[in-house]
């Protein structure tokens, strides 16, 4: 089962999610690899096994197999970074952000896909995990790489829709 098929089983109160998902699939703001990469990495970030499996089924023919590791790499590194950097900006007792993170993050420079595409994946995970510091850092890099505000907003919309789909899947399970 893919995401679209999963959405068909959603109750009427979740119709907006069905329509929003259909809209992002059909609007052609991002290229196919960006769109489905963000869908997959966002699904991973929700930690919802049924959604992850549906996303894998939906994206298997849409993403170049060379970049699958980059999607998992973005999720891997951001699932660590977003938690750590959220801590540094939420903890008010000391100035943790002035201290070295001492976290290995080499995959940030070892990916095969373009830097903007990888940054979009990282941004999607940061949005779902709620790290403002990471969101701002990745949004800044995307802007510096001439990625439009519409594309950046689309990443946020996709992450939001995928997160909401996961939440409804938890409710109706």
Q: Catalytic positions, please? A: 131, 134
- Tokens representing 126 are 């940061």
Distance CA 30, CA 66 (A): 19
Q: How far apart are CA 36 and CA 43, in angstroms?
A: 10
What residues contact residue 60 under an 8 Å CB cut-off, 6+ apart? none
Q: What share of the chain is helix, strand, coil (3-state, %, to 5)?
A: 75, 0, 25
């Amino acid at each position: 089962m893919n995401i679209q098929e999963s959405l068909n089983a959603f109750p009427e109160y979740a119709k907006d999610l069905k329509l929003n998902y259909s809209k992002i699939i059909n609007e052609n703001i991002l290229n196919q690899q960006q769109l489905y990469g963000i869908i997959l990495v966002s699904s991973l970030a929700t930690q919802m096994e049924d959604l992850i499996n549906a996303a894998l089924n939906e994206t298997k023919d849409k993403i170049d197999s060379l970049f699958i590791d980059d999607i998992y790499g973005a999720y891997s590194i951001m699932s660590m970074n977003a938690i750590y950097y959220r801590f540094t900006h939420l903890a008010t007792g000391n100035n943790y952000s002035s201290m070295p993170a001492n976290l290995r993050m080499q995959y940030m420079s070892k990916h095969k896909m373009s830097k903007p595409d990888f940054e979009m994946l990282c941004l999607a995970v940061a949005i779902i995990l709620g790290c403002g510091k990471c969101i701002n850092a990745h949004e800044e890099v995307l802007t510096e790489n001439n990625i439009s505000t519409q594309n950046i907003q689309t990443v946020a919309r996709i992450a939001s829709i995928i997160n909401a789909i996961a939440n409804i899947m938890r409710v109706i399970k």
